[in-house]
Structure 1
Amino acid sequence: MVRTEELDARLDAAIDELHDIDRATAGLDARRARCLAAVAEIADERAALVSGGSAVREGERRLVAVEIATATRRSERTVAGMINNAEQLVHDYPATLSALSDGRVSGLHARHLIAHASTLPAEARPGFEARLLAEAAVLSPHRFNERARRLRETCHPESITVRHRQAREERSVWLSPECDGMATLTHYLPAVDAVAVDDLLDKIARSERSDTDPRTHLQRRADALTRLILTPDNPARPASITASVLVTVPAATIAGLSDQPGDLHGYGPIDPGTARAIAATAPTFLRVLTHPTTREPTMITRHWGRPVADHPTDGDGRDRYSAPPELRLVLAAIDQTCRFPGCSRRANRCELDHTRDWAHHGTTTPENLTYLCSRHHHLKHETRWTVHPHPDRPRHLNWRSPHGRNYTTAPPPAPADG
């Protein structure tokens, strides 16, 4: 029989090991920060070699970020943020860097400190850093972040009026896909407006409460917000603007012969019942037949019977530069995102690009058209990044970076139609 003392000893050993792992991880975070700061210096030195101004410097930094992002399978925005944070940590917060190297604070503590300190004037940062570091060793990252937010308010020498006016310029709304056909819509807005919206939703939810309504209070709040935004006669929305969604549904699912999920553009799989409901009321309906291997469109028909094109373009593909609307829609559904390595911008918010340039005899045909966001569209044409389609699978793109690293991107698998 295992004695209690033995179990306690094993538990103590495991806790000690976790403590050692945390310290080692913090040290690696510090090492990564020094490496990223050095990368930024290399980019600046490269820009200096050509005697470029700030535009050349930013261009070199962008190219370096793209190289790191594709090599480490991170987004460029993430890498750019990591480089920025690393430079701040290494150059502006040496005490925090030292504490991180020694494992006295975690990487998350350091990120919270920099996030709040960077919003302070430079002269206020050293005192703010010193006061916070004294508490980092005894506070969890969540409590440390809250403490940093409150301390920042008392340390900031500028008027809250000025700060609020500046912060208000950052207001935004963004979508975060979740599991099981759900998503989170985040609205960053002034606190007074947020409290007012919250109060209105609460009052609507309470007013709809009844013994015959099975919804919870939180469900009624969520439904109220959806109605307020999507109701057709909403006076806050111009009558000419309507919400639109792009859904790809296997034909067998629509016919009720299969329960394969549909695919919501910008999100992913949705349940077959929702897909059928959308199909039943869709104002625009395109039926697309694709090659089973290459996924190239071979025929597009509108409203289940009136042909749009037996081939999405006529002739040899050199008769028109712009692709027809139906083909744009179909390729957006197939590509789903920008086709540059690691980019996840939705295809319907990107630009359709001729993989082989039109100026170099490229054709306006499905196998030569892919979606690229504006950033990567410019990158393809203005830098030494190159791209070529796979000879047998045109939608598989082979990218080569200026430093010779190779990457392949492909559209996600098509929903099974069976």
Structure 2
Amino acid sequence: MLASDGAGSTAELVDLIAALEQLKSAACAVQAQAAVDFDAQRRAEQARAGVPAARQGRGIAAEIALARRESPHRGQSLLGLAKVLVAEMPHTLARLRDGALNEFRATLLARETGCLSAEQRAFVDEELCADPQALAGVGTRELVTRVRRMAAELDPAAVARRARRAEADRNVTVRPAPDTMAYLTGLMPVAQAVSVYAALVKEADARRAAGDPRSKGQLMADLLVLKVTGVTDSGDAEHAPAVPVTINLTMSDESLAGGHAPAVLSGDGVQGEVIPAEVARQLAARALDARAVVWFRRLYRNHLGRMVAMSSKQRLFSDGLADLLALQGLGICASPYCDAPIRHTDHITPADEDGATDLANGQGLCEACNHAKQAPGWRQQVVSSPRERAAVETVTPTGHHYLATAPAPPGWREPRFVKVGPGRYELIA
């Protein structure tokens, strides 16, 4: 095993870094070939087992993802890349194997040639990657520019069709940022994106010219919130406009009278974000001051921080249980390494195997993970005790075991046993 203890010269350390980078690329090439071989063997096994053709291949990408400690979506992307490299882009695979390309750049080459025919893709592969020296000193942007130029020359109609199809992928996503902030990203055609941005810039400049104290960036962000939600503008440079909020306040018996237990801020299809109690109180206060809607939903925990109950908020029990399972996982899929939002409420032990519909046998999964575990050979079981955070073991068709433990909720304390006398131990938080 290679390691750096700082004893080498600077030249030797640089050589070590370069060698490790080349080794990573070579490992990715071997992984790609292994993924293709695994896919072929697993599909053959499923066919022999009588799995309908339409369902053959289910769960394969998820197995690859678990092995690589990646999300199922990433596993699907990696398997697709591997198939393209092995079957259609042998020179790109060779450059990955010798370290002239890394996995990210190989992915870009496969993506940018996706609209071409197999023959055209092979031509680009040979032109760009047959000679390892041709890639020396080439940056990522230059490489993408080269392949896009070639694709446009080979089949301009295909490139145009791809651009039109890309409009169907327009969407808006949100992901957490430091200090209880978040990134809201909109993927849309360039004309619409520029139009939205220009409108925000124009109105922000006009308001600043009229004496608004907020910076241009603050104004653009606030104007986006105002136009989408319809809330009232506060004109406050320090705080963003107040919006309707739901405060999922995790509370124990000792904090009911006024403690400092953190809150979880979440929304439908959005991963929960733990925020300090003071920040939660400020959110609620500003929403109330602005006459926005505020909902409180209480999540009760015991003295060790285990989730035990939730107020129903005028919902049927089945919906309330689904909400509690989602909140128990902070809105994140319970599968190992998966960061996707929860879409399905799933029985760990299947209902057709007498699995109970209750909190102990329930989990929140994304759609891909729920479908993957329906493939033949997948098993799951609860391996935690009622006193512990929910832990589920997944066993794949190859017999590999993967453990996923629910995120620690606010107020969580790991159980500790302390010796209080001869042969006597006491559980403390």
TM-score category of the 2 structures, normalised to the smaller one: 0.7 to 0.9
2:43 aligns to what SS in structure 1?
A: helix
Structure-1 separation of matches of 2:86 and 2:113: 14
Q: Which moved more, 1:203-212 or 1:80-89?
A: 203-212
Deviation of 1:16 (Å): 3.7
Structure-2 separation of matches of 1:365 and 1:111: 43
Of 275, 298, 323, which residue of structure 2 is paired with 1:270?
Answer: 275
Q: Which moved more, 1:392-401 or 1:108-117?
A: 392-401
Structure-1 separation of matches of 2:218 and 2:295: 31
Q: Where in structure 2 are the equivalents of 1:353-368 lying within 5 Å? A: 353-358=346-351, 362-368=355-361
The aligned amino acid for 1:185 is L
Closer, same or farther in 2 for the Cα pair 1:364/1:293, shift >3 Å?
farther
Instruction: String of CA shifts for 1:237-267, please: whole Å, max 9, x gaps.
Output: xxxxx97656335578897753x54222314
Structure-2 separation of matches of 1:360 and 1:48: 25
Structure-2 separation of matches of 1:334 and 1:158: 50
Of 276, 280, 300, which residue of structure 2 is paired with 1:289?
Answer: 300
The aligned amino acid for 2:306 is R
Instruction: String of CA shifts for 1:96-136, please: whole Å, max 9, x gaps.
Output: 22222223333333222111112222232233223433652
Residue of structure 1 equivalent to 2:220: 221
Residue of structure 2 equivalent to 1:205: 204
Matched, 1:388 2:376: no
Closer, same or farther in 2 for the Cα pair 1:292/1:150, shift >3 Å?
farther
Deviation of 1:175 (Å): 2.2
Count of aligned positions: 379
Residue of structure 2 equivalent to 1:100: 96
1:169 aligns to what SS in structure 2?
A: helix
2:360 aligns to what SS in structure 1?
A: helix
Residue of structure 2 equivalent to 1:247: 248
Of 124, 131, 144, which residue of structure 2 is paired with 1:128?
Answer: 124
Verify the 8 A CA contact 2:25 2:98 in the aligned structure 1.
yes
Structure-1 separation of matches of 2:210 and 2:256: 36
2:203 aligns to what SS in structure 1?
A: helix
The aligned amino acid for 2:249 is T
Structure-2 separation of matches of 1:220 and 1:94: 51
Structure-1 separation of matches of 2:176 and 2:29: 31
Deviation of 1:200 (Å): 0.8
Deviation of 1:199 (Å): 0.9
Q: Where in structure 2 are the equivalents of 1:73-92 lying within 5 Å? A: 73-92=69-88
Deviation of 1:270 (Å): 2.5
2:56 aligns to what SS in structure 1?
A: helix
Structure-1 separation of matches of 2:350 and 2:94: 51
Structure-2 separation of matches of 1:160 and 1:377: 35
Structure-1 separation of matches of 2:257 and 2:195: 45
Structure-1 separation of matches of 2:29 and 2:412: 50
Residue of structure 2 equivalent to 1:173: 172
1:22 aligns to what SS in structure 2?
A: helix
1:285 aligns to what SS in structure 2?
A: strand
Structure-2 separation of matches of 1:67 and 1:39: 10
Closer, same or farther in 2 for the Cα pair 1:247/1:136, shift >3 Å?
farther
Deviation of 1:271 (Å): 4.1
TM-score by length of 1: 0.77
1:128 aligns to what SS in structure 2?
A: helix
Of 392, 403, 406, which residue of structure 2 is paired with 1:408?
Answer: 403
2:99 aligns to what SS in structure 1?
A: coil
Structure-2 separation of matches of 1:54 and 1:254: 56
Residue of structure 2 equivalent to 1:239: none
Structure-1 separation of matches of 2:189 and 2:154: 21
Verify the 8 A CA contact 1:93 1:129 in the aligned structure 2.
yes
**More strand as a share of residues:** 2
Deviation of 1:371 (Å): 2.3
2:124 aligns to what SS in structure 1?
A: helix
Verify the 8 A CA contact 1:335 1:371 in the aligned structure 2.
yes
Cα RMSD (Å): 3.5
2:30 aligns to what SS in structure 1?
A: helix
Structure-1 separation of matches of 2:18 and 2:349: 54
Closer, same or farther in 2 for the Cα pair 1:214/1:243, shift >3 Å?
closer
Deviation of 1:76 (Å): 1.3
The aligned amino acid for 1:168 is E
Structure 1: gaps spanning 5 or more residues: 1-8, 234-241, 303-307, 313-321
Q: Where in structure 2 are the equivalents of 1:10-409 lying within 5 Å? A: 10-50=9-49, 54-59=53-58, 62=59, 64-133=60-129, 135-158=134-157, 161-210=160-209, 213-231=212-230, 245=246, 247-250=248-251, 257-258=259-260, 261-265=262-266, 266-280=271-285, 281=288, 283-293=294-304, 295-298=306-309, 300=311, 323-336=317-330, 337-347=332-342, 349-351=343-345, 353-358=346-351, 362-380=355-373, 383-390=376-383, 392-393=385-386, 395-409=390-404
Structure 2: gaps spanning 5 or more residues: 1-7, 233-242, 414-429
TM-score by length of 2: 0.75
Structure-2 separation of matches of 1:364 and 1:263: 25
Structure-1 separation of matches of 2:159 and 2:329: 46
**More helix as a share of residues:** 1
Structure-2 separation of matches of 1:165 and 1:194: 15
Verify the 8 A CA contact 1:253 1:276 in the aligned structure 2.
no
